[in-house]
Amino acid sequence: MITLAKKIKEEKEKKEKGQGAADSAKTSRVSVRDKLLAKEITELEANLPESCKVEFHDPNVLHKFTLTIAPGEGYWKEGIFIFLIMIPEEYNIKPPHVCCETKIWHPNISENGEVCLSKRAGEVLHEVLTKLREVFAAYLNVREHFVLERGNFCKYPSMSDERNGNAITEDEAALYDRQIRLWGLDAQKRLRASRVLLVGIKGIGAEICKNLVLSGVKSITLMDFGQVDEEDFVAQFLVQREDLGKNRAKSSLQRAQQLNPMVQVTADCGYISDKADSFFKSFDLVVATNCSTDQLIHINEVCHSKGVKFFAADVFGFYGFIEKPKIIKTADNKNASSDGEPEAKRRKVHITETVVVQKTLKRLPSVYFIVKVILEFQRQYDRRPQTVTNPEDIENLIKLRDEVLKELNLNQTLLADEFASHCTAQVSPVCAIVGGIVGQEVVKAVSGKDAPLNNFFFYDGLEGHGSVECFH
């Protein structure tokens, strides 16, 4: 099969027999590289497994050939993977170059197909095939290290290899296979390294928890000071009937952990307002739900000062919203520059501080005004509206609606009275939709794969309609 090797052998025999001085001179011109390859490739073919095949496009060119692997079992069963191996003239001083021509995701193969060779490949080669040099380090790195050695190229991605830095395990690779294919290994690594604080474990909190745990974050802390009540059994699927009256965060812990044993899930029964600012430095991202306006503003400011990403979200009956505070520049006269002009200062804006021009107000979704009314209700009464147990809350909500719309110079007819009957409790389908979008946006923010929403999302469950709005 190896024509050049046979020619060398023939020329050697001719030289020994004294045949053809010209032919002998021709043999002497064969490079050291090709002489080495002639011997080593012969040994390679003698030890080639059935799943692998070496092919030379030009039988007289040994320094460029393809290695085809067709796994008969495991993760890439029935696939065909082609590696182009090129040996430099300086071989064996310089190593061979190996490139995967088949488009494939693998932690040891770059986006342009370059194969990362094992640091221990040389040691493995001497044990397997004595005197084989780096060309077979390349070959056996593909075959032995990936196919036979731990994890296996043809069975599972070898993501635990020390060359991958912040590597993830093979079990994680199998579990997160779909999403790795969707947003890539680097994004999944960033997700895996993220620490999330989730405040409020009511219906929407349970949905967010589920989505983030399944996405594969490093850890998530469930924080809730309250106890499980009857309302939780409508939309909060992480608690059980026997948890009635118990702390909501602790009661949610077991089922949340069962969703993904690879994620560290902990519970914090403390009150968010009692936490010191330094507490938030332990997290990469905070999601706050079921919080008052003052709490949201405080968490927002602390997270901004600590460089922690922040999202706020909540569901009020058939209505829901998500907020990713927008960073804006403001003028601070106390920090004036030498020329007397104030320097720009960055801060985050909250929904209660949004500045919307009159023309824009008229086209905003009604949920925007409903959220403002409910947040004002919570500020005044220090609780969420309960129109079933407290019928007077309907009148109070309508009254607050009038005040909010009047302050905005808008007609009261912009928001019908019926909204007050639809904005209590947490409706399960609405929690699922809003919680799903929160999970999506958190993944974007943490992984860096795409930009998260800018900067509000409002959902109307009665209309089945959601919209993204940007406020300055």
Residues serving a catalytic function are: 116
CA torsion 271→235→314→370, rounded to 10°?
Answer: -130
Helix, strand, coil percentages (3-state) for the chain, rounded to 5, are: 45, 20, 35
d(CA 101, CA 55): 14
d(CA 40, CA 87): 12
d(CA 201, CA 252): 8
Q: Which of 170, 171, 188, 192 is nearest to 179 (CA)?
A: 188
d(CA 189, CA 245): 39
Residue 108: phi and psi, rounded to 5, are: -100, 10
Q: Where are the alpha helices (DSSP H) in 158-292?
A: 170-175, 177-183, 185-192, 203-215, 232-235, 248-259
d(CA 174, CA 75): 9
d(CA 419, CA 159): 52
Q: Which two tokens stand for residue 255?
A: 């089922």
